[in-house]
């Protein structure tokens, strides 16, 4: 098994979660995952090792998502999509349990953040990237990214406590 295959096994669930959080659609998230790893395989020769392979793949995922938004002219907010999950997407009790009320509330609060903050939180929570990797992707310092995430986390926790 080569490095890319090992990385695929480890990062695929994180990439899928990232796309699902952004699109609220299983099929779209799967398609975007497929496109991401296809591009990664196609472009592996251009990987120069200046970042981790995981960060490089997330950068590809981010670009794939931007292309998806441009192509489909899809600019609705995350909460509007989550609020209208069709019953056809809920196929079993287990899948229904996945859409837990706390998760919906969390995603609602995340969706109210500005673009940069939302991206930072989603990359940290769903992408499970390190602060260094996120800082590299977003063009900020690691310290700035770490402090901003901490402040956003406290803000979201406070808002969630107020809505209980």
The predicted structure's pLDDT at residue 74: 37
Picking from 119, 150, 112, 153, the residue whose alpha carbon sits closest to that of residue 133 is 119
**Residue 148 pLDDT > 90:** yes
The predicted structure's pLDDT at residue 147: 94
In the chain, the domains with their CATH numbers are 3-162 (1.20.140.160)
CB environment 132-154: b (16+ within 10 A), e (fewer): ebbbbbbebeeeebbebbeebee
Model pTM above 0.85: no
Q: Residues 63-107: pLDDT tens digits?
A: 898 888 776 653 444 445 545 555 545 555 555 555 566 677 778
Residues 6+ apart with CB under 8 A from 11: 54, 57, 58
Percent of the chain with pLDDT over 70: 76
Cα separation, 145 vs 130, in Å, equals 10
The predicted structure's pLDDT at residue 91: 52
Cα separation, 147 vs 36, in Å, equals 29
Picking from 144, 52, 160, 142, the residue whose alpha carbon sits closest to that of residue 104 is 160
Q: Residues 101-138: pLDDT tens digits?
A: 667 777 888 888 888 898 898 888 888 888 998 898 88
**Residue 21 pLDDT > 80:** yes
**Residue 16 pLDDT > 60:** yes
């Amino acid at each position: 098994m080569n490095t890319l295959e090992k990385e695929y096994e480890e990062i695929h669930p994180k990439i899928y979660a990232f796309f699902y959080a952004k699109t609220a659609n299983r099929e779209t998230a799967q398609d975007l995952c497929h496109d991401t790893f296809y591009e990664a395989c196609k472009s592996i020769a251009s990987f120069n090792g200046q970042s981790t392979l995981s960060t490089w793949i997330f950068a590809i995922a981010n670009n794939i998502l931007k292309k998806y938004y441009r192509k489909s002219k899809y600019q609705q907010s995350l909460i509007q999509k989550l609020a209208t999950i069709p019953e056809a997407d809920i196929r079993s009790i287990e899948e229904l349990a996945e859409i837990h009320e706390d998760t919906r509330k969390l995603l609602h609060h995340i969706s109210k953040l500005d673009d940069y903050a939302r991206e930072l939180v989603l990359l940290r929570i769903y992408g499970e990237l390190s602060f260094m990797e996120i800082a590299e992707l977003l063009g900020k310092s690691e310290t700035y990214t770490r402090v901003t995430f901490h402040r956003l986390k406290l803000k979201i926790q406070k808002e969630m406590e107020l809505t209980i």
